[in-house]
Structure 1
């Protein structure tokens, strides 16, 4: 086997965060990664690399810029990412380089957060969520796949931020997409309404993560869609 890619994990926004579903979020990541890591560690020869998913929620809720060297945050999703990454230890201890992809919001009109936002934007309801000043770090699906492919080279073990080099405040994010759809983006959604409407997942929606893909950039990776001025028209076609 040349390489292994692990993208396991139940969607954090697919259901309300009941205690049962929070266990599903955790176990679907940790248990699967642990099982795969132990299986890979027994192979001969070993894979050249394991690329294993993680998330930007590893970092603190903050307006400060963060890179791969920044400390871990707190809260449920941060705890999940810590366990998720640690579950790859059997592979790492066997000598397999492991890259943890701390991904931002992956944007595709066919799924994820954008699939939920597009209908609202087209109705003119794409205003700020909460304060609108929280930083959203994102990456298009196109560039995310390209970055995953780059990590298969096996020369970037450890945490790697898979985010665009152009994080923006949430209000700018919505305005850019609304502008590409030729719709207004003025009606705000108060933070309390988000918490009532989606429960625990509001932790992720209202959090601020200004994540920079320092290691990818230092390795010479170039983004085809590095900022929303380039990405928004493609995403809202």
Structure 2
């Protein structure tokens, strides 16, 4: 009998891609606010339930927790900050409580986080053992999210994810329009680092954590080669065969995004030290390779 995996956030970009990669090997149940919509998106072969219907995790071999309100889609009003926090903390706490009261706990709990946990770090090289976090909203959200997950009485892996590059949506799709129009360019100084990961490497790394019984603790889900915003802008423009002559001033980004502009005006030079140390091989380790693979 195939193993059974429970997934939250299954209708999101990463979740949908992951399910496509895993559905031939595993039985899967997705926790969702709207099971009928999730079934339309994912197919009848995926069991879709609400969080209220999830009362036990005894039958699951693994849990992959990807749930969370998109952090950069809207301005950070107090109400939006609360949604961002609760959409991560509440379901993670529910899963941990179910694991800890289970008579047959899943063998692994893989839970999301983001490199925003480090806060702004300039050009400092950041690996998983880095502890000098900069105190800001993204750090507070992710640190509590991780701390909840780490209370689970099973093997726990935390994914500190960078910008996921995909031709199916996400952050890259939001960047494309100005570049396609020849209006793209670096943001502010362009010196801020942008740690990214190709979607295929993201999915492969999750499967690495699933199958490697020695894997536990925090992992940076980023390529081994983070780039500055200027480098990224030039590479994207070149891939699209467009110019890269405009620069977006910081005040424009702040006016558009408010406090959430921190996410693009500052960055982190993050390295996936633990994945590399465990022998994980990136299919797309450089930005040129990653952009070349995507259907842009």
Q: Shorter-chain TM-score category? A: over 0.9
Spell out structure 1 runs of 4+ moving beyond 4 A: none
* Cα displacement (A) at 1:35: 0.6
Query: In 1, are the aligned partners of 2:188 and 2:248 still within 8 Å (CA)?
Result: yes
With normalisation by structure 2, the TM-score equals 0.77
- Which residue of 110, 113, 124 corresponds with 2:168? 110
Correspondence 1:68-79 to 2 at 5 A: 68-71=128-131, 72-79=133-140
What value does the CA root-mean-square deviation take over the aligned residues?
A: 1.1
Q: Does 1:204 align with 2:246?
A: no
Would you say the 8 A contact 1:109–1:118 is kept in 2? no
* Aligned residue number for residue 281 of structure 2: 222
After TM superposition, the structure 1 = structure 2 runs for residues 1-237 of structure 1, keeping only pairs within 5 Å, are 1-62=60-121, 63-71=123-131, 72-91=133-152, 94=153, 96-153=154-211, 154-237=213-296
Distance 2:169 2:290 in 1: 16
Checking the alignment, whether the CA contact within 8 Å between 1:177 and 1:233 is kept in structure 2 is no
Contact 1:31–1:87 under 8 Å retained in 2? no
2: distance between equivalents of 1:98 and 1:186? 45
2:31 aligned partner = none
User: Residue 63 of structure 2: SS of its match in structure 1?
Assistant: strand
SS at match of 1:171: helix
SS in 2 for 1:152: helix
The verdict on how the C-alpha distance between 1:221 and 1:110 changes in structure 2, with shifts beyond 3 A counting, is same
1:98-136: CA deviations, max 9, x gaps? 111000001112211101011111111220101100000
Identify which of structures 1 and 2 has the higher relative contact order when contacts are C-alpha pairs closer than 8 Å and 6+ apart: 1
Any conservation in 1 of the 2:119–2:138 contact (CA below 8 Å)?
no
1:87 partner SS:
helix
* Alpha-carbon distance between aligned partners in 1 of 2:91 and 2:199, rounded to the nearest angstrom: 23
Give the structure-1-normalised TM-score.
0.96
Number of equivalences: 234
The runs of 5 or more residues in structure 2 that have no matched partner are 1-59
Q: CA deviation at 1:44?
A: 2.5
Report the Cα offset of residue 90 of structure 1: 3.6
Q: Deviation of residue 236 (structure 1)?
A: 4.7
